[in-house]
Amino acid sequence: QMNNATLKAQLGNAAWKLFHTILARYPDKPSVQERNTLSQYIQLFGQIYPCGDCARHFQKLLKKYPPQTSSRKTAALWGCDIHNKVNERLSKPEYDCTTILEDYDCGCGEDEKEADR
């Protein structure tokens, strides 16, 4: 059994990976429904995140910096910025957000082309 700090860090890595990957695959031109879905997903993620202290603090950040859902780039940059707020609180280095979309390529770009056919 690994120690609590290691387990908490692993959970954070996995959660952030999924979080940023979802934002990097979000539509360029989302519909109203897609925008609502993303907003709700992020709010619920903040409520259900299993480290209680983290969740409480993240909910405060969401109030101060509400999710930006108008486009893929906007959403991905918002996600990068809010992760940087968490980094700042934990005294971790600031992440360079300029290549955020490339950084979280899920290898599923072909799926969109399939859907267009």
Tell me: does residue 47 bind ligand FAD (CB under 6 A): no
How far is 21 from 106, CA to CA, in rounded Å? 7
Interaction with ligand FAD in 51-70: which residues (CB under 6 A)? Answer: 53-54, 57-58
Residue 58 Cβ, how far from ligand FAD at the closest point, in Å? Answer: 4
Tell me: does residue 20 bind ligand FAD (CB under 6 A): yes
In the complex, which residues of this chain contact ligand FAD (CB under 6 A)?
Answer: 8-9, 12-13, 15-16, 20, 49, 53-54, 57-58, 80, 83-84, 86-87, 90, 92, 95
